[in-house]
Structure 1
Amino acid sequence: MLKKRAYKNVLAVAVVSTLMGAGTAWAATPSSDHVPSVDTTTDHKALNNVDVMAAITEARGNVTPIDGKPANVTVDNSALSTADTEVAVIAKTTGKTDLEKAKMEAASTKVVGVQAKYISAVTDELLTPYVGKTIASFSIDGVTQEAEQELVAGLHQKIGDALSIDGVKNDIVSIGNRGIFSEVNPIITVIPEGVKITYKVTSNPIVHSVAFEGNTIYTDEALTNYMALESGNILNTVTVGEKIQGINAAYNRDGYMLAHVSGIHVDKQGTLHVGIVEGIVEDITTAGNKKTRTKVITREFNQKKGKPFNKFLVRRSVEKVYNLGFFDDVNVRLLEGSDPSKVILETDVLERKTGTVTIGAGYSESDGLTGILELGEDNLRGTGDKVKLHWEYGGSNKYKNYQISYLHPWLDDKATSLGVNVFSRTNEYNDYDAKGAAVAEYNKKTTGFNISLGRQTGEYTRDYLTLESRDDKYIFDPKSNSANGFIYTKNGGPQETETTHVPNRGFMFKDMNYVGKNFGRTNSITWQKIFDSRDNVYDATQGKRLSAAVQWATRVLGGNFNFCKFTGEARFYHKVRKSQVIALRGRIGWIQGSSPYSQLFTLGGADSLRGYEDDQLRGKKMYNATLEYRFPIIKKVSGVLFTDIGSAWDTSNIIWYKDTKSFEYSFGAGVRVITPIGPVKLDYGIGKHDKKFHFSFGTQF
């Protein structure tokens, strides 16, 4: 007696939530008058492959196995690329991802292999009564005869085998993994020879077109071309699933880490609808900023409200906020938006003290009582404006030094800055020959002002235009200056023995108008361009800073000198291991025209050539390079190993200076200490001619 085991009818639903990371499902409505052919994959020949899994992999198109693991595949999604140039630029630095290069090279993306999604009502309880019975025949109900032969050939169980639960399930997987069926169910019939197994299949709907919803990053055209679905073919969940994986991977590669395909469904007209959620930033808020105004933080953000969340833009935004110097820590948190497709970006900051007060006093027999007062605020009333007042009084000449500076960083919404600086200072200077021997000691008084406008011209670039007027005056005071040296206002020849000064060694300073050629008013206009991609402007661990400047001084502006000064600098930073850094800096410069003494390039001292006197080398031409290896020692204390090279030459207006081009070098070690009044640097440099300790304040280059 023939017995038919009825199977439970199940709605033909293929759940593709695992393809999209969401719980959305689509209902496949089978066409009553359509008998599917297995030849709906991209490569008919692949279906004849004995290895079914290999055949499926080959049939998917544009996919190759990785390391022999069929669960991992690559998809060529280079055709999908963000059109946001800002994202592309930032990704090269903060994310170490060159999106343009990836697009040009058609770089593939690793994704998890997609399994076909289908429904089967088979259970162990339904199969148990037939376990061990001989399989007499197979058939596939719902496909053409040719397709049936191909499907049967790919089954794991063979005629004559004993039926097993795992065998039936494996056969269901073999059929279902073709990707074109929404339902696969076995019908087992007992016959005298054993059992007959019929696999009842329901085909996926036919797709005529594809439509996308919610996409703003990639165009409909780009997505449609990427999907590459041929009109009139049965929906293949494997092929479509991998394309969806590729879309998700492209979003993640381009920094849109919250974006994903949220769901797909086929309507009655055969249109495949693909829904995309891009993770829109609904609002940007702040927390922890008790003093700093919210707009001071949010105006630094590359990530904008109403746009998809992008990790590159957010990472760069955090860097810019931290580099303001107002905060000890900056963190970003994602909060739920008004609906699941939106997020709120909260920036949590830990404010630091931005005001400084410095008071100092001293006494010496030569200078008498001296005093220093300095007031500074880097975040004036929480606006981000900077103001500084420096005042010195005292000395034997009762000099009064002062400097007043003010910076307003945002004149408009394009980050145009305005800086004003007024100064008057009288300082004691030493002149050296090329080997570091002191030859003169004098005072120089400098008064003037400068006004600077800066403008953001790119994500990492700023241009500055500065107008400056300064007046340098030579002062020689026999009471306070050294007994050894030149008197630049006198002619050469030995002086009276009663005086305290040595001979001028034959240099005719007065006749040669030495003071007139080297001291006076310099009125100039300077243009400077800076590219700065450092992750931390105060203590960089990666990135670079490039700058070029041209200073044009002319009598047309009311000054006493005509010259052009060109300066170029490059700094590079590379992190080694976790917290060690290799830093490299190179500088070049040259001057065309008759430059005064005060505008010559100088080398020597803590900031350029350690192991040499401050400003020991001077000239109209200069080169300088520094290589440092920086490493932590304990908290707030770090060490550095360094080597410096450089030279400055061509001093036509300094007639006593031996004008020879040389190669100077030094090497040594130092420590850096973070103190409440700022970073302190102590270096010991071994130079070509001497050894020096250098003590200074300020951050590293």
Structure 2
Amino acid sequence: MRHVGPVPISDSVILANAQTKAGQQTTRTALGQDVRNLYATGYFTNVHVAQEDVEGGVKVLFTVQGKAKIKEILVKGSEKIKASKIRKEMELKVGEPLDERKVVLAQKKVEEYYEKAGFEQATIRYDISIDQQTGQGVVTFNISEGPRVAIIDITFTGNDHFSKAKLQKQMKTKRKWWLSWIVRTNVMKKEQWQDDLESLRDFYRNEGYIDIVIKDVKFDHINPNQMYVRMTLVEGKQYQVGHLDIRGNQLFPSAGIRGDLKMTEGKTFGPKALDKDIEAIRDFYGAKGYIDAQVVPVKQANVETGRMDIVYEIVEGDISYLSKVSIRGNTKTKDKVIRRELAVKPGDVFNMVKVKRSKERLENMGYFSKVNTIAEPTDVPGHKDLAVEVEEQRTGQLVFGAGFSSVDSLVGFAEVSQGNFDLFNPPFFTGGGQKARFRVQMGTMRQDYILSFTEPWFMDRRLALGFDLFRSESQYLSSIYTERRTGFDMHLTKELMPFVSGRIQYGYQVVDIVDVESTAPQVFQDEKGERSESSVIGTITRDTRDSVFLTTRGNKTEFSVQAAGGPLKGQTDIYKLELRSQQYFPIPFTWPTLDKKHVLLLAGGSGVVDSYGDNSRVPLFNRFFLGGPNNLRGFRFRDVSPKVGNLNTPGNGPGAYNPDEPVGGGTYGWGTIEYTIPVIEKIRFAVFYDIGFVNQDAFDYSVGGYNDDFGFGVRLDLPIGPIRFDYGIPITTDGYNSRGGRFNFNIGYQF
């Protein structure tokens, strides 16, 4: 072993990376591999091997030149961006081998960082200085920042058919606006700019302007820190579909195939629409088992007439049947958990549309980071196997956190959950497709303990069976008593039709009203102590929302019926009916700087509760209240309700009547109109109007005592979850509520 320069590692480590050993035969191939292995360690700049004939064999000499180690990383010329921020962008560390390839990579990362910050003219050069005696090197980055350049506007000429705002919306690079200092979209980023140009071309082509040309782009610097971008377009002629023909189809008539096509004669021609129609023809055949059908579009453009003739050439192939399904890659998840989500089974026609639907189901389970479905040939003509390949991901979570809301104040929580639970697979309890969760939540105004379990395929049917055990203590419901609940429920849920599910639930709980103030009105004194409830609840839900957290379109409507007591026993005899609905409308208007839709929400609900049998009243915990962050946001939580005198109010003598303590009612109605506007990515602004009433008696829909409010708010889509801030201002009150505004803070967008 011979070293030139610094010695980065010992000879023993070098020999450990070489195949050549003393006393063994050696070849040129083996020596070449040794050289490659030593280079691969990353410690050497040069490696040379030579052999010399000696008595009894050969002598092998490795000559290695070690890389210097990084002693220091210097950043010079960074005046507008701190050197510490620049170093964070590099993947260089003091003490590691000095690899010039990594230095070049660090240089590119710094260039990209400056580009994103708006310094399009910044130049970065590096210099490496090595002390051969010590084997240490200094890497110096010399930066010439130049001015930070903001794009004042992006203008177009030749755009005869589309507005400036419409074209700007296709681009990620934006003009300067009042929040540019946060989102940094008004700076020139070279790679993004090329993507923007291609996005403009794609937009025009999909609108039928196939011959679009971006003729010229000028960057007009009006001063060192500002510029205009001016683009010249030649749109060309818009193409419509002319003659459309289908050829090669022997098994199915053309009329049946054409029925699935969207881009027909007279419609605007576009590449994206063409791809969708090709996929539609493949799905037409794939749904019938012809999974090898090929579709080739032949296009003929007529520049004079602006017509695009299309011929779909089809090679139908033979029908295929499914022989067997194999599952691969699942080390934790049981085969049956995957197979039960498949919409195809052996012996069926190989329906490729159902295979795609099966793939989507598996992806939506959340168990796998990747799902592939592959049709594999077999030795039997006309038969194929289906291979389902999955890559599993973590499905368990252990979460700790703390939060604050305007209702229950400061709260801390811990939760452990497993989305792929298996009750009968100790000691890891994973792989069965069940769901389990245990949550502890404690705060200044509440304590909650919840254990939940769900088997989504009860008795191997698409029928979800679950149960919940719970214990809670709530002080935020009222200022004059505390409510404790202990109980359980069992429930069955089944999909009745697309987007519609039904749920039946039996629950038993004991509600204990404690710490009632001695001077509280009699209605609260009567509620003091324990009361059991045994009830059945039936619920029908229709849910077509596009997202649970940030909904932009769709509807959720829920109707429930509850019956407690009677043959179910318990100390509570009541029935309750409740209907709630939310409808979301995307509004086709966007900020010129942000491609996000405005959303209009219409929401509302109504409910009735009453006692029956020997019970003359509905318990406090079953009555309706409004007010707070989820309905009437201009009023205190649960403050919209019939009220009784609170004898503990300061300044009032014994027996004085002060109607400000809510007791709940037997009928309520509530409605909301909310309009949200995107401000920047992950932030939306909201304006709203709420109206509602709560009346004492069941089925009393008189609205003379209604309350309403208006207000504004902010919606944040953060990694910890969606958060909303609202400020509501009462307009009309029932005479017992304050007209002052209310601030509400809560997690979640939905009502």
Larger relative contact order, structure 1 or 2 (CA cutoff 8 Å, min sep 6): 1
Larger-gyration structure (1/2) = 1
TM-score by length of 1: 0.49
